[in-house]
Chains A and B, each alone.
Chain A
């Protein structure tokens, strides 16, 4: 009987544990899975190296934001260069408010065929988030499967150059 009891206890424990995992997964999917989000702290590694990540717009979302007076950007609307995204052109406009990037508008993006529209309707949202939540990654280079995003970054970089005080 003791064995049976033990077996039952173990079963209850396993079932509970299983449920925990299911619930955790469910919650995880609603937001961002833990294992994917772990990267954030990596960006805060405590060296004093200057961010030189190729063309990523510079700012930091996690560090306390600097007061508008200290901002490197002046307020206004700044248009970026037209960049070739392989299947068409990308051109962005950055809106700076209180020294921060408040919005990014796409003046041009490829829309001559359905594929391009589909590709861009998926990627534009990411790209917007990227600029608005612009970060200063303490890395030298970034590896990603990105192509049009680079055209975006390039255009964005020139817009921000123009916004520079």
Chain B
């Protein structure tokens, strides 16, 4: 069973291939994503994050979920030597972490309901679980950032998360907090990790790091990465090959 929706202006796809699927279980996850959007969308005036940015809420009034996300952001900032930073021009935008976090939580909702074989995708960031309809690992194509008719690599995933961070669509939403500049050296970074939360936050940070990302991720054994540079070459960490299908 497959459900698709546009939430946060982004397409959400949930596919469960377990034989007995209850449609409302999938809708519960979609509704959870809608709630996350209501709370964390910087594009919605009424969202909690917008109210914080407008100075209408004091830290004591933050919801538990907000406190949790902000502390995870702080933690990630330390882990990435300051490259992951949600503060920009006096405003905060935790969306570089929220998406992966929400997908992971959504996956846990499905796991709790007994599903074993599924994936959840929000705009190119994916959590896989179990196997696909052909009883094989999920086959995930990685898009060529220069030509989206092409897939530059196919990886097989079963339980891992994958996230890609790149420049081209939302323009300035990823910038280097250390220099204030938008990163240009790297066209896209794809990170595979034990779950999409890890993949998403490190893909965001790694993209900002530029070429230095490879060294950073190489040191983190639990992460694998594929970089596409602006001069159209690909670089991967040594442990990336284990996922490559071809």
B5 vs chain A, min Cβ distance (A): 10
A147 touches B154 (CB 8 A): no
Residue of B nearest to A144 (CB): B143
Q: How large is the interface on B (under 10, 10 to 19, 20 to 34, 35 or more residues)?
A: 35 or more
B195 vs chain A, min Cβ distance (A): 14
A140 touches B139 (CB 8 A): yes
A137 touches B151 (CB 8 A): yes
A39 touches B231 (CB 8 A): no
Total cross-chain contacts (CB, 8 A):
178
B106 vs chain A, min Cβ distance (A): 15
A123-B169, A143-B124, A144-B148 as given contacts; A33 in contact with B233, CB under 8 Å: yes
Residue of B nearest to A86 (CB): B9
B61 at the interface (CB under 8 A from A): no
A8 vs chain B, min Cβ distance (A): 32
B51 at the interface (CB under 8 A from A): no
Find chain A residues with CB under 8 A from B234 CB. Answer: 35-36
Find chain A residues with CB under 8 A from B163 CB. Answer: 143
Q: Name the residue among B15, B166, B190, B246 with the largest chain A CB count within 10 angstroms.
A: B246
B168 touches A145 (CB 8 A): yes
Find chain B residues with CB under 8 A from A147 CB. Answer: 9-10, 123, 169-170
A63 vs chain B, min Cβ distance (A): 14
Find chain A residues with CB under 8 A from B164 CB. Answer: 143-145
A37 at the interface (CB under 8 A from B): yes
- Contact string, B53-95, partner A, CB cutoff 8 A, digits 1/0? 0000000000000000000000000000000000000000000
A142 touches B124 (CB 8 A): yes
Interfacial residues of chain A within 7-61, with CB under 8 A of chain B in the complex = 28-29, 32-33, 35-43, 45, 47, 49, 52-55, 61
Q: Which of B119, B170, B233 contacts A119 (CB 8 A)?
A: B170
Find chain B residues with CB under 8 A from A151 CB. Answer: 6, 9, 11
Residue of A nearest to B157 (CB): A141
B147 at the interface (CB under 8 A from A): yes
B52 at the interface (CB under 8 A from A): no
A54-B121, A84-B6, A140-B119 as given contacts; A39 in contact with B151, CB under 8 Å: yes
B141 vs chain A, min Cβ distance (A): 4
Cα A89 to Cα B158 with chains together (Å): 35
A115 at the interface (CB under 8 A from B): yes
A104 vs chain B, min Cβ distance (A): 13
Find chain A residues with CB under 8 A from B188 CB. Answer: 144-145
B79 vs chain A, min Cβ distance (A): 21
B221 vs chain A, min Cβ distance (A): 21
Q: Which of A29, A119, A129, A144 contacts B145 (CB 8 A)?
A: A144
Cα A87 to Cα B10 with chains together (Å): 11
A100 at the interface (CB under 8 A from B): no
Cα A49 to Cα B70 with chains together (Å): 42
Cα A133 to Cα B149 with chains together (Å): 7
A71 at the interface (CB under 8 A from B): no
Q: Spell out B's residues near A (CB within 8 Å).
A: 2, 4, 6, 8-11, 13, 15, 43, 119, 121, 123-126, 128, 132-134, 138-154, 162-172, 188, 190, 228, 231-234, 245-246
| Contacts A/B (CB < 8 Å), 9 sampled | A37-B152, A87-B170, A137-B141, A141-B138, A142-B142, A143-B164, A144-B148, A147-B170, A151-B9
